Structure 1
Amino acid sequence: MTARHVVVRTSKRVPQEILDDLRDAGAATVHEADGRRGALGPGLTPIQQGARIAGSAVTVSCHPGDNLMIHAAVEQVRPGDVVVVTTTSPSTDGMLGDLLATSLRSRGAIGVVLDAGVRDVAELREMGFPVWSRAVSTRGTVKASPGSVNVPIVVGGQVIRPGDAVIADDDGVVVVPHERAAEVREAARKRIAGEEAKRERLAAGELGLDMYRLRPLLAELGVVYRDES
């Protein structure tokens, strides 16, 4: 008989040097470099500004209004991990506050992505512990219902598995499957190099219309120029 609720112990992690490069590239660039895949959508917003992280996912599935399994997940966290939490039905209750964040940080977690609510926002900002959440809520949770840790979960229409790369910054959150992380890093590097060359051309005054060869497209779409008399 297969257990309905499990805590899976896993050593699957993306190598740190790859995570560092994905973090430096940023969520938007990684999203583009991976063929515009992996974005968790605009519903997850940061409670702070300027935070930029990339880590391997520790996934948590919780009952709505119950953070018991986040406490169970703390034990599975390794330095550099990002804890990604969802609930089995939509919830905006405050699943995480400063005490639980303190516990996660003690194990080396670098941030939390929370498909629910967060509270103690001022304290979390003062701690410098980054969180991306669905809502901010004064309403707390109980610790009574079973769930699972390190199983595949879905957030924002994206499947997130334990050990996948999670990149988060002011632009949002992106997930890259573990097996594609190295490939996406290389694609992101190439994209950054190309963007730097374009940035120099635009700074020198070249128009995007010409750099991207958009004038023929405008004509094809029927856009005409007219001088006002």
Structure 2
Amino acid sequence: MAVCITDITRPNPETVAKYQGAEAATVHEAQGRKGLLAHYMRPIYRPASIAGPAVTCEVSPGDNWMIHVAVEQCQPGDILVVKPTSDCIDGYFGDLLATSLQARGVKGLIIDGGVRDTATLTKMGFPVWSKAVFGQGTVKETIANVNTPITCAGAYIRPGDIIVADDDGVVVVQQEEADSVHEKVLSRVANEEDKRVRLASGELGLDIYNMRQRLADKGLRYVKQGEEA
């Protein structure tokens, strides 16, 4: 049996708005280096940056039927996250499904599988992060779950968790941690800006990060050329 859950809880819009423009890498670091999807999840065009609540969808290998089911569950601002139940890089998604999602105000797609029609998707301005680009088509025969927890590209994602995606990759923030994580994001951004100013003035990272003694403790010696022995 498969289920499609129709009444998922989403974070409040104010919380989601905080993540617009946030960098995936910064969010990943701020929340303790967790939630990052696998390295192969790349945007089909750049620059691309989105953030929003996840609508989750399972698909069977080579079968995109459940994406059509998931489209109906999407609301404006959502991000559709798709995971094949077994590894498959067929082209599950193309410009027609993107047109349907755009009509519902969906911000983009995260899919641990293949996507096609990438030239048209780029012209449409519909961002997709995928495992592969592959022209192989799919069928519509097998059902699976919509809006249940999934593991997508190595990350555990529940419906309503916040997805942040940009040119560096994709990260998920648990819905109940979203506000506290964002406070850490702001702190990290401020800290980085301070260091950026200091580095731009010529100060060295060796001194800013107090690295010299640690390097010495590890055994690093500074010697003049010819004195290596």
Band the TM-score falls in, shorter-chain normalisation? over 0.9
Instruction: Work out whether 1:179 is the aligned partner of 2:176.
Output: yes
Which residue of 56, 59, 70 maps to 1:59? 56
Q: Number of residues paired by the alignment?
A: 226
Judge conservation of contact 2:56–2:150 (CA < 8 Å) in 1.
Answer: yes
> In the aligned structure 2, how far is the partner of 1:56 from the partner of 1:18?
10
Deviations 1:60-101 (A, max 9, x none): 001011110000011100000000000110000000000001
Deviations 1:114-139 (A, max 9, x none): 00000000000000000000000010
Superposition RMSD on alpha carbons, in Å?
0.9
Which residue of 40, 49, 58 maps to 2:37? 40
> In the aligned structure 2, how far is the partner of 1:18 from the partner of 1:217?
40
Please state whether the residue corresponding to 1:147 is helix, strand or coil: coil
> In the aligned structure 1, how far is the partner of 2:199 from the partner of 2:179?
30
User: What TM-score results when the alignment is normalised by the length of structure 1?
Assistant: 0.96
1:117 aligned residue? 114
Identity %: 53
> In the aligned structure 2, how far is the partner of 1:82 from the partner of 1:106?
13
Which residue of 47, 51, 55 maps to 1:50? 47
> In the aligned structure 1, how far is the partner of 2:50 from the partner of 2:112?
17
Q: For residue 115 of structure 1, what is the amino acid of its counterpart? A: D
Which stretches in structure 2 are left out of the alignment for 5+ residues?
Answer: none
Please state whether the residue corresponding to 2:20 is helix, strand or coil: helix
> In the aligned structure 2, how far is the partner of 1:107 from the partner of 1:134?
24
> In the aligned structure 2, how far is the partner of 1:73 from the partner of 1:201?
48
Residue 23 of structure 1 deviates from its aligned partner by 2.9
Which residue of 143, 146, 151 maps to 2:148? 151
Greater shift, 5-14 or 25-34, is seen at 5-14
Residue 148 of structure 1 deviates from its aligned partner by 1.1
User: What TM-score results when the alignment is normalised by the length of structure 2?
Assistant: 0.96
Instruction: Work out whether 1:79 is the aligned partner of 2:76.
Output: yes
Residue 20 of structure 1 deviates from its aligned partner by 2.7
Moved over 4 A (4+): none
Please state whether the residue corresponding to 1:84 is helix, strand or coil: strand
1:196-211 equivalences under 5 Å are 196-211=193-208
Q: For residue 93 of structure 1, what is the amino acid of its counterpart? A: D
